[in-house]
Structure 1
Amino acid sequence: MQNDASPAPNPRRWLILFAVMAAGIMGPIDGSVVNVALPTIGRVFNVDLNTVGWVSMAYLLVLGSLILTYGRLGDMYGFRRVLLTGIVIFTIASGICALAPNIWVLIVFRAVQAIGAGMFMAMGPAIITSVFPPYERGRALGTNGMIIAVGLALGPTLGGFLVTVAGWEAIFTINIPIGIISYIMCRQVVPESRDLKPQQFDLIGAAMGFISLSAFLLAGSYGEEWGWTSPATLVLSVVFLVGGWLFLRWEKRVQEPMLDLTLFHNKVFSAANFAALMNFMSQYALVFLLPFYLQQILNYTAGHTGLILTASPLVVLMLAPVSGALSDRLGTRWLAFTGQAIVSLALFLMVGLKVTSRAFDIIWRLCLFGLGTGIFQSPNNSAVMGSVPRHRLGIGSGVLATVRNVGMVLGIAVSSGVFTWQRSAKLVAWGPGSATAAFMAGMKSAFLVGAILAAAGAIASLVRSDNFPPGEH
């Protein structure tokens, strides 16, 4: 299964890409910018850490649970309509967040923000794939990936600056002018979808998917805090397993499913999505544990830690468009394999970090990790979107975005579980005076598991084909 015959390239395709990127950068920025402001928000509303944490969790939970649904809506009603609706919802919700009179209003409208963000984040790759010819698809998706890396890298720094200069409200009000400008640009240049056929929306499938994904993301995010065998975690796990099983059974039976399961019959689509899952799991094992190591073991400040952690996304920023363009010429398979192999090597080298390591020792390993991620992501995304027929581009884009969110949560859950297990075991074996050594043992075990996950993704990239449609290479 591959992309249907493409129409002539859209002459405004690079302008369309710029407009989509202008909207798309708001999602990753908003996912990371708020974390810096959480302590301030907690003090302003006089709430504890667990309560204020829901300002971030509500956004991530709704975002991860609904992106699959937006992909289907895009195929039904047109990518442009869903994109513009998302920008409007996100911008209005941002303004209400800034005016929130209490923490609960803020949490509710953070969830509404996520509804809008999911719409434009899910539509981006679908719109890009629909307007670019196959020989430019990798370069275009790589350029779009660059803006996501910019957003993730810029978020914490921008959040700290805005909170210091203008207060916590500014992290939301800044979205209003960006939202208005991106709406005008997208309305002007993004084309209407053509040849849309009347279809039924799979409401039951959407509800089942939302419930099971929400249960999974919630259990994965709070399992460590609540305990993996606590009643709440076990109930959520059962809801996920039963809900997921019912969802798959329903999707096989319904005539117009929300998730077209036949897409997974394609080896390229399945293998590339699995590789993406492994990449994000290994990436977030690093993202989650490294700040604790830098601040608790090496005693760096939060500011110093933030500067060190920008090394990896900066390398991704520089490489994403290059690797995407290379994949248009060389194919996606070997580039994706090479990138994942480098990610695995970087995580393996992270095991060599010590209590006496210097900043340079960490930065060069992070740069190596960013090198692998930058080489991998654009070709892999191009492989996924290139293996999807044009009338299913929305679903393909939604699956890719869902895999990213699930990988983030799973990566944190697995790494924190391995870390806690190993640290606790070493504390019992070595005694209470070995807290630092036990921490290092736990962290190294988690990084080793991350290296194995990345290696599994590299193998998945290697065993698939490039899947070039006739005349595409």
Structure 2
Amino acid sequence: MYALKNFDFDEETIYKNRWIIQFVLIVVPFMGSLDASIVNVVLPSIKKDLGINLSLSSLIVSSYIITVATTIIIFGKLGDLKGKGRVFLYGIIVFIFGSFLCSISPNITILIISRVIQGIGASIVMANNQGLTAIVFPPNERGRALGLSGSAVALGSILGPALGGFIMTYLSWHFIFLINIPIGLISFIVGYKTLPARNSTSDVKLDKYGAFVFFISIFILFSSLLVSQDMGFSNLYVILGFFIGFVFLFFFIRLEKKLKEPMLNLNLFKIKSLSFNLVCAFIYYFISSSINLIIPFYLSDTFNYSQSQISTIILVNPLIMFFIAPVSGYLSDKIGPKKVTLAGLFIIICSMILMIRLDENSLKVYILASLCVFGFASGTFNSPNTTLVMSTVKSEYLGITGSINSLIRNLGMASGTSISTSILYHQMSSLAGHKVEDIVSSYFVYGMKSVFVVLLTLSITAFILSNIDKKLDFDKN
């Protein structure tokens, strides 16, 4: 990869190629979204083919999630130190290699190792694509670029189930990973010719001790979150895991405060706009993952809808998001991201109010309308919120800020899934008068409504925080 160390482009060339570069920046997130949605569809087939139990098959998903979460900050910092374009290209290579290994995996051990490698590649890309977008696009075009990225992720979610069904009908599960290879190679070739990959002039070294302690803390915390979905938050091992994870996180913060050149500059969080918008992002992904968990069970256990009916209904959310996200990005560029973000949060509140009214007698048209409103809110909120986050820091911190934003997304999704599950089962158990360990249709709606009350409270909190944040002068960034 010698050539990656020597090529460079001037700003005029970068600006001229900015939309070609954007194609590269959105393809890998698209593949990641497509991959995630396909894997969920074909997981039962992989379980049967490899002769494994449910716990092992769940590791196929969780190993990827944990890998991304534990390494994304590290690769964001490396992008700032070594050049985001170059690190991004290496990420594509690792992702392709991991996908190839997944496609030829003969057993669960090799498949999980391959998923870890694939997760490392995805983490490298995710840690640097937002920072590259902020570099390549001027502020008045950044919203549109990020909006297209949101549409690409939504499109991956839309195509995943259908493509997974097609592959399992005519081929084998191995091909869900093989399709990443040609797409990844095209992205690498185009990116190699267009991405800015400047040599770093900094002598700063990566804080290896900080990186190690951070890795351990996030690994334990995310593992505890994922395990809590089955074991509950009251389980002794889960409580112990959270305690140990937070102890390591405490030591990480103490260590970073003492270093002149830390891996994570904690002073970034003193920027009120950055912190507030990260909290809003966390709340959105918490809400989104909770809805994605609750609604399919609601449709299945309350109305006995078939799998195809459920798939069709839940596709409404990403489909609406696919069309709205670019429009939201365009409006963000025209009238400012703060106004569009507030509009998105307000619509989220409206969607939560609609969902609280869901019950055993809800009409299908009302369910679809509720999901449409949330899809509209998602498409409206995402890109301007990311624009606000990425516009609060200096260029040398774009990589680490983008990776923090991605970590917050993963943390919000994992937390939403775990906590909403706990609330659901706690409320069902409370109504039943004994501990409920599986979904009981007669108690489900009561538990679901409790989850939506929490989600409504969180969405109102995010709206208030976003209103408090009035100091970001976007036009000057």
Q: Is 2:98 the partner of 1:107?
A: no
TM value normalised by structure 2: 0.94
Give the TM-score taking structure 1 as reference length. Answer: 0.95
Instruction: Letter of the 1:176 partner, please give it.
Output: I
Corresponding position of 1:145: 150
Distance 1:224 1:39 in 2: 19
What is the identity, as a one-letter code, of the residue corresponding to 1:310? L
Counterparts of 2:55 and 2:364, CA distance in 1: 32
Q: Which residue of 2 is the match for residue 461 of structure 1?
A: 466
Choose from 29, 34, 39 the match for 2:34. Answer: 29
Whether 1:385 aligns to 2:390 is yes
Aligned-partner SS, 1:10: helix
Tell me which amino acid in the other structure corresponds to 2:441.
T
Q: Any stretches of 5+ residues in structure 1 without a counterpart?
A: 1-5
Q: Which moved more, 1:400-409 or 1:342-351?
A: 342-351
Is this contact kept in 1: 2:81–2:200, CA < 8 A?
no
Instruction: Give 1:181's aligned amino acid.
Output: I
Give matches, 1:399-418, under 5 Å: 399-418=404-423
Provide the secondary structure at the position in 2 that maps to 1:307. helix
Give the alignment of 1:97-136 within 5 angstroms.
97-136=102-141
1:22 positional shift:
2.0
Q: Does 1:245 align with 2:250?
A: yes
Aligned partner of 2:203: which letter?
P
Distance between the aligned counterparts of 2:72 and 2:147, measured in 1?
A: 21
Q: Which residue identity does 2:288 align to in structure 1?
A: Q
Structure 2 counterpart of 1:10, one-letter code:
Y
Counterpart contact for 1:86–1:115, Cα < 8 Å: yes
Partner of 1:395: 400
> Residue 90 of structure 1 contacts residue 115 of structure 1 at CA under 8 Å; is this kept in 2?
yes
Give structure 1 regions of 4+ aligned residues with deviation exceeding 6 angstroms: 6-9, 429-432
Question: How well do the aligned residues superpose, as a CA RMSD in angstroms?
Answer: 2.0
Q: Pick the aligned partner of 1:337 from 342, 360, 370.
A: 342
Q: Give the counterpart letter for 1:150 in structure 2.
A: L
* Per-residue deviation, 1:224: 3.1
Q: Which residue of 1 aligns with 2:353?
A: 348
* Cα distance between partner residues in 1 of 2:153 and 2:475: 31
Q: Measure how far apart 1:465 and its partner are.
A: 2.2
Matches within 5 A, 1:57-72: 57-72=62-77
Whether contact under 8 Å (1:383, 1:466) holds in the other structure is: no
Partner of 1:185: 190
Separation (CA, whole Å) in 2 of partners of 1:134 and 1:12: 16
Distance in 2 of aligned mates of 1:415 and 1:288: 8
Which one of the candidate residues 168, 175, 180 is aligned to 1:170?
A: 175
Structure 2 letter corresponding to 1:329: K
Structure 1, residues 299-322: CA drift from partner, whole Å, max 9, x if none?
111121111111111111111111
Structure 1 match to 2:6 = none
Identity of aligned residues (%): 34
2:283 to 257, 260, 278: 278
Paired residue total: 466
Measure the CA separation in 1 of the matches of 2:306 and 2:436: 29
After superposition, the C-alpha distances for 1:138-189 in whole angstroms (9 at most, x for unaligned) are 1111111211111222222222221222111110111111111111111111
1:306 aligns with 2:307: no
Structure 2 segments unaligned to the other structure (5+ residues)? 1-9
**Counterpart code for 2:460:** A
Q: 1:193: Cα distance to partner?
A: 3.0
Match of 2:321 among 302, 316, 321: 316
Q: Which amino acid in 2 is paired with 1:117?
A: A
Matching of residue 235 in structure 1 with residue 240 in structure 2: yes
In structure 2, what is the equivalent of residue 3 of structure 1?
none
CA distance in 1 between partners of 2:138 and 2:76 (Å)? 21
Deviation at 1:373, TM superposition (A): 1.3
Q: Is the 8 A contact 1:343 1:369 kept in 2?
A: yes
